Structure 1
Amino acid sequence: MAASKSALSALAFSLIAGPALAQTQPPPPTVELGAAPAPDESAVVAELTVVAKPPGPAVWLVEKDGAKLYVLGSAQPLPHALKWSSPRLEKALDKADLVLVPPQASVGVTQIAGFVLRFGGGLRQPMGKNLEDQLPPDLKARFVESRNQARKGPGDYKNWKPAVAGFLLLSDFRQAAGLSEAKPVSTIERMAKARKLKVKAVGQYRMSAVTTIASKLSPDDQLYCLRVALDEIAYDGAHSTTIGRDWAEGDLGSVRARYRESAAQRCLMRAPGGAALLEKGVAQTTDAMAEALKRPGVTVAVVDLGFLLPANGVLDRLKADGAAISSPVE
């Protein structure tokens, strides 16, 4: 029961969001992203100069018809012990009366058992089969090494197909390494609640949609997804003491290149319906922010960078709809 809940939550979370961060470099005072974006990059992000003073992660200000929307680009995982501050975000929250956070799963804890029985079949190994026995030797060696680093035994993953096992292991590894997949959203929620602000998810996603797509992966794609998950584990392991600093200091020039290449999105794009699910997430987030701009006052939104950095992402769509977008420095 607990293992099933953890596996499904990890898979859904990793596929909807969850890319890793860029390699840490000492940030310069100003990061110039350039006026000519690559074809797959957000034109809005590329044309803005993000000033890393005052300290803190990148924040955009979206304005339309007198309404203001401050957008914090979120990334995960972040170290549990990471200390960061953002005068821009603090001031935005002081003015706001609503905080928007990423979509939430529409399956609750009490529904997990029935959900697994109904949808879990396509994600599990056939009866009598064991995950590690089915893996090619090189992939098995990497899996076992990562499993040991996460302080897990073979029994924790033996019943799952490679893609599910890979992202479950990635989540377990991050927990063992002191990295949080809940931050920074959980931190922003606490900051909002301390100010007695209303916190609202931009929508919901059905875990059945994620698991149905995952169950349609071919055997080769299952192994591909496991490989890219193990690649991400290797990256996180090599940077576990410094990961998150680029994000916390607003160094988008370093963050964006690595973030676009997340294992989760590469895996999802291999599955039938995966691209449509990602598009739904972008559209759902954009719609919620557009609605926020129709109300008077100030809203703060926390949006995964995976929805902001690509071409025709959330910021591009808001600008195309008539909003003015800038990078607040106050």
Structure 2
Amino acid sequence: MKQVLSGLTAALLMAAPSAAQTPAPPSSDPDAVLVEELVVTARERGPAWWRVSDGDTTVYVLGAPSGMVKGMAWDDAVLERRLAGANQVILPFNNVGVGVFGAAGVLIDIARLKAKAPIEDTLAPALKARFVAAREAVGQPAKRYALKNGLAAGILLVADYRDHAHISAAEPAKTVARMAKARKIKTVTKVYPLGPILGATLRTSAQAQAACLDDALDEVEAGSAKARAATQAWADGDVRAALDGERGYEKCLNSAPGASDLDARIKADEAAAIAQALKTPGHAVAVIPLRPLLSQGGVLDRLRAQGFVIKTPGES
């Protein structure tokens, strides 16, 4: 059981939920509706960049895939050029952590998620067959998913799949952070408390839990070939194809009560960080996940509403 709980904690620490600014898209997936004029193939070689400017300052924004196949090469020449002389680098605000005063509550919430029997024993026959096939495909025993909550099981299953398929949510931000450190450039990021996410997981309705499991299974069943194609599209600057990657993990997190409130806060904080960077003459670099960057109510949509000039990867 200790292995199950530590695995679930690690899965929840991988990313935070995402949702849209009011008014929300007519979908449980908060990033389902994109601002189409921002979804543009890059003119320059390599991944796509957007530009946010205000007078004498520009923030170059690199859109990051939700999951990236480890070891796939990508051209970082534009990144190298934009890091040169940058006064700061804004990294994704998609981290969660446990503070000293919240640790006890987090442990209690995690313990409340555990069950004596594997969750697959509670599933309808068709769903059980899919779940068993998926966990066997990623080499995990039934006891690893001894959980009462379908949303938690879905998150853990997708995390195990991504680990098995060598898909990382840490890149390319990890590479950008390393390069910024080597150049002694200030980095900006933010950590959100894990406790409310776990509490929301416990309050998730049975219907939302079932939807999460379905989304998780869709991603595992799609296989790594789709993730590899999406990663290659991202590396080539083909934004629309890069957005085609499966997002079972993100959809599961979005199913929790209050996920939209947390994501609205994250997007507002990321937009605010870019707006703050625009107050310093010169230029800065930011890394923002693609869908939260390009969705209605997303980071660029918010900045445009504030009057900043947005240029797409297709503009010179």
TM-score strictly above 0.5: yes
1:302: Cα distance to partner?
0.6
Structure 1 pair 236/280, CA: closer, same or farther in 2 (3 Å)? Answer: farther
Within 2, Cα distance between the matches of 1:324 and 1:130? 52
- What is the aligned length? 300
Q: Which of 38, 47, 56 lines up with 1:57 in the alignment? A: 47
Q: Which of 163, 167, 185 lines up with 2:155 in the alignment? A: 167
Query: Does the aligned pair in 2 maintain the 1:282–1:313 contact within 8 Å?
Result: yes
Within 2, Cα distance between the matches of 1:326 and 1:166? 37
Q: Deviations over 1:42-95 (max 9, x none)?
A: 26515xx54343x21110111113111110111132111100013322211112
Structure 1 pair 287/44, CA: closer, same or farther in 2 (3 Å)? Answer: farther
Q: Which of 140, 144, 156 lines up with 2:132 in the alignment? A: 144
Cross-structure match for 1:325: 310
Matched, 1:225 2:249: no
Structure 1 pair 105/15, CA: closer, same or farther in 2 (3 Å)? Answer: closer
Q: Which runs of 4+ in 1 moved over 6 A?
A: 110-113
Within 2, Cα distance between the matches of 1:141 and 1:216? 26
Structure 1 pair 85/115, CA: closer, same or farther in 2 (3 Å)? Answer: farther
Query: Does the aligned pair in 1 maintain the 2:3–2:144 contact within 8 Å?
Result: no
1:186: Cα distance to partner?
1.0
1:268: Cα distance to partner?
4.3
Query: Does the aligned pair in 1 maintain the 2:110–2:198 contact within 8 Å?
Result: yes
1:114: Cα distance to partner?
3.5
Structure 1 pair 327/130, CA: closer, same or farther in 2 (3 Å)? Answer: closer
Q: CA RMSD in A?
A: 2.6
Cross-structure match for 1:313: 298
Identity among equivalent pairs (%): 33
Q: Deviations over 1:291-310 (max 9, x none)?
A: 11112222111101121121
Cross-structure match for 2:7: 6
Within 2, Cα distance between the matches of 1:191 and 1:2? 34
Q: So what's the TM-score if we normalise by structure 2?
A: 0.85
Structure 1 pair 299/160, CA: closer, same or farther in 2 (3 Å)? Answer: farther
Query: Does the aligned pair in 2 maintain the 1:43–1:316 contact within 8 Å?
Result: no
- 1:115-126 aligned within 5 A: 115-125=105-115
1:247: Cα distance to partner?
0.8
Matched, 1:276 2:264: no
1:13: Cα distance to partner?
3.2
Within 2, Cα distance between the matches of 1:173 and 1:165? 12
Query: Does the aligned pair in 2 maintain the 1:59–1:89 contact within 8 Å?
Result: no
Q: So what's the TM-score if we normalise by structure 1?
A: 0.82
Q: Return 5+ residue gaps in structure 2 as ranges.
A: 19-31
**Counterpart amino acid of residue 286 in structure 1:** A
* SS of match in other structure, 1:51: coil
- 1:65-80 aligned within 5 A: 65-80=55-70
Q: Which of 289, 293, 303 lines up with 1:304 in the alignment? A: 289
